[in-house]
Amino acid sequence: MDVDTGSRRSQISLADAARVFWRYPSPWMISGVLVAAAIARVALGDWRPADALIPAIMLVAFPLFEWIVHVVILHWRPRRVGSLTVDSLLARKHREHHADPRDVPLIFIPWQTLLWLLPAVIAIGLFAFPSTATGLTFLTFLGVLGIGYEWTHYLVHSDYKPRTKAFRAVWRNHRLHHFKNEHYWFTVTTSGTADRVLGTHPNPADVPSSPTAKALHGL
């Protein structure tokens, strides 16, 4: 059964998409950490098996990380604690993103969040690993995953037409989340990975269209 995955406008090329992508701050902020960490890592040398093991573990774990962040943080329902409403910027911006999936600035990680998140992950890389070298390997590959996430998420919401089977699966998976039912298909850079393991990758034909896909929690 064919499933509505959102209307499309005129197609664009990858080069066109890239020109728009680099107009926004989060790709530059993440790339800055990536380049700085990579240069420092190469300059330091002292290569060990951990420099291959750490990226491998991160690559396998990333779909699960995406799923957890998407479900727990981005789909956070505002809660009242006394007179205080607990509702993060990430959750608010994500609700706006669902309301208008074509609004380009809302596709990216908010730069305000990166102002504290990037220093936090840099501190983890420099102080939580047994050596500076392995910490820099962690930061470098985290930058690769971060820019890969931003690019994939942006491309799915752009007018770029999928040309490979792998990207079409990723494209369809995420657009089903936005245009079919927001309670399923939480991964962004992969299709059928963590969602299959955690039971959120049903047959789209068996899932009813959600009236709150564009108004999370009915807000």
Q: Is 69 exposed, middle or buried (0-12, 13-18, 19+ CB in 10 A)?
A: middle
Residue 198: the pLDDT is: 97
Of all residues in the chain, what percent carry a pLDDT higher than 70?
96
Tokens of 213: 């896909």
Task: Please write the tens of the pLDDT for every residue from 81-129.
Answer: 998 999 999 999 999 999 999 999 999 999 999 999 999 999 999 999 9
Collapsed DSSP state (helix, strand, coil) of residue 152: helix
Token pair 């943080």 in the structure block, residue = 73
Handedness of CA 95, 97, 101, 102 (dihedral sign): positive
Residue 5: the pLDDT is: 57
What is 17-34 written as a DSSP string?
HHHHHTTSHHHHHHHHHH
Calculate mean pLDDT across residues 23-45: 98
Task: Please write the tens of the pLDDT for every residue from 154-167.
Answer: 999 999 999 999 99
Indicate the pLDDT class of residue 219, thresholds 50, 70 and 90. confident
Indicate the pLDDT class of residue 2, thresholds 50, 70 and 90. very low
Residues present in the chain in total: 219
Task: Please write the tens of the pLDDT for every residue from 190-212.
Answer: 998 999 999 999 999 999 999 99
pLDDT score of 4 more than 90: no
**Residue ranges in the chain assigned as alpha helix (H):** 14-21, 25-44, 50-68, 89-99, 111-127, 132-157, 165-179, 194-198
- Look at 16 and 10; give whichever has higher pLDDT: 16
Task: Please write the tens of the pLDDT for every residue from 131-140.
Answer: 999 999 999 9
- Look at 2 and 85; give whichever has higher pLDDT: 85
Nearest CA among 98, 65, 68 for reference residue 175: 98
Domain definitions of the chain by residue range: 14-162
pLDDT score of 1 more than 50: no
